[in-house]
């Protein structure tokens, strides 16, 4: 039986590299497209010899569209995912997250790719009124990163409607696990805390620390993506992927273990985010397996990964978030 060919954009990133590892284990022929602006090759060390790696930027359509030839399935993860800097450089986020997504869709259409799985973001819900938040909840983007991810999703949906491209959009809630970064969405908080723990520095907690997030372990996310890619029931659908259980930042800090320091709360950020995952449970029979206690234990066992990670201090955070406080009052 012929191997299926899968192309993963952003495959050297946190989520992308875990997905690549799983696809290789499942004996797919894997092509990774990554500019390495935020992804790192070492994330692919387990699988590198068994994949085709293409260093290209998704903004430059003509340089990479040929690699979509004879591809069966595309997972589109490539994006600028650092939330806070989006307020300062919205144009860069638009070119990558929106124009880049358009380019990927053009390549899929040109080469008749059977399906694209778009990695969207739960940040599109903004400060949600519906808790837990379902896929039908009102979309209310609060900052440029969230807007560009939502616009990318709109493009994918439109291409599905007009050009009959099979797609699934996956709205992820706060993914964490080994290889997570120390910048980006709330899942990056783990990397920040672990880097601070290694340096014997206090954890920088935004606001009171009582705010709650839906932290989802990486292996559960990869399980969901694999199921979605295989099931016809997922075609032209949007799914939330989360744990469905909100956990406070203070509780995470306590589980990791260390001193804490509190810094000003950022405007535009909700007090609670939690996924309503009834749809994916019912339609695809997926459910999360790794609870927060076991997930944190795995992170602590892999703490050495963050030895060379950027170390955030209150002073650095204040400087990095200056424009955030300026515009989002």
Q: 205 forms bridges with which residues in the sheet?
A: 262
Enclosing domain of residue 155: 5-174+217-241
CATH number at residue 49: 3.40.50.720
Which tens digit of pLDDT belongs to each residue from 119-172? Answer: 999 999 999 999 999 999 999 999 999 999 999 999 999 999 999 999 999 999
- CA dist 191 and 104 (Å) reads 30
Distance, C-alpha 2 to centroid of its chain: 30
Which tens digit of pLDDT belongs to each residue from 170-184? Answer: 999 999 999 998 765
DSSP run (H or E) holding 205: strand 203-206
Which tens digit of pLDDT belongs to each residue from 226-283? Answer: 999 999 999 999 999 999 999 999 999 999 999 999 999 988 889 999 999 999 999 9
Do 199 and 135 share a structural domain? no
Which tens digit of pLDDT belongs to each residue from 291-311? Answer: 999 999 999 999 999 988 888
- CA dist 97 and 256 (Å) reads 33
Do 167 and 133 share a structural domain? yes
Do 249 and 237 share a structural domain? no
CATH number at residue 301: 3.90.25.10
Catalytic residue chosen out of the listed positions 125, 145, 176, 217: 145
- 254 domain residue, yes or no: yes
Is 145 labeled as catalytic in the residue annotation? Answer: yes
Q: Taking a C-beta distance cutoff of 8 angstroms, is the pair 67, 9 a contact?
A: no
pLDDT of 186 higher than 50: no
Whole-structure pTM value: 0.96
- Provide the 3-class DSSP secondary structure of residue 317: helix
């Amino acid at each position: 039986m012929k191997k299926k060919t899968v192309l993963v954009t952003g495959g050297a990133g946190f989520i992308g590299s875990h997905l690549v590892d799983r696809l290789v284990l499942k004996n797919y022929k894997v092509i990774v497209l990554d500019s390495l602006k935020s992804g790192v090759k070492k994330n692919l060390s387990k699988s590198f010899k068994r994949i085709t790696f293409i260093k290209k930027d998704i903004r430059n359509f003509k340089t990479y569209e040929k690699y979509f030839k004879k591809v069966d399935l595309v997972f589109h993860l490539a994006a600028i995912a650092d939330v806070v800097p989006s307020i300062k450089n919205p144009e860069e986020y638009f070119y990558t997250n929106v124009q880049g997504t358009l380019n990927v869709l053009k390549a899929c259409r040109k080469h008749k790719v059977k399906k694209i799985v778009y990695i969207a973001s739960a940040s599109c819900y903004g400060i949600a009124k519906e808790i837990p938040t379902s896929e039908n909840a009102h979309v209310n983007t609060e900052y440029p990163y969230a807007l560009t991810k939502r616009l990318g999703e709109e493009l994918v949906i439109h291409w599905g409607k007009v050009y009959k491209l099979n797609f699934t959009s996956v709205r992820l809630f706060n993914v964490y696990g080994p290889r997570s970064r120390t910048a980006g969405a709330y899942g990056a908080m783990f990397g920040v805390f672990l880097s601070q723990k290694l340096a014997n520095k206090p954890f920088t907690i935004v606001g009171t620390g009582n705010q709650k997030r839906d932290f989802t372990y990486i292996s559960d996310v990869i399980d969901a993506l694999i199921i979605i890619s295989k099931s016809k029931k997922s075609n032209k659908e949007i799914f939330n992927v989360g744990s469905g259980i909100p956990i406070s930042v203070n509780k995470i800090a306590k589980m990791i273990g260390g001193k804490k320091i509190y810094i000003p709360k950022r405007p535009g950020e909700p007090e609670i985010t939690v996924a309503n995952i009834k749809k994916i449970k019912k339609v695809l029979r997926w459910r999360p397996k790794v609870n927060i206690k076991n997930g944190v234990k795995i992170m602590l066992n892999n703490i050495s990964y963050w030895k060379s990670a950027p170390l955030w201090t209150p002073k650095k955070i204040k400087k990095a978030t200056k424009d955030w406080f300026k515009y989002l009052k």
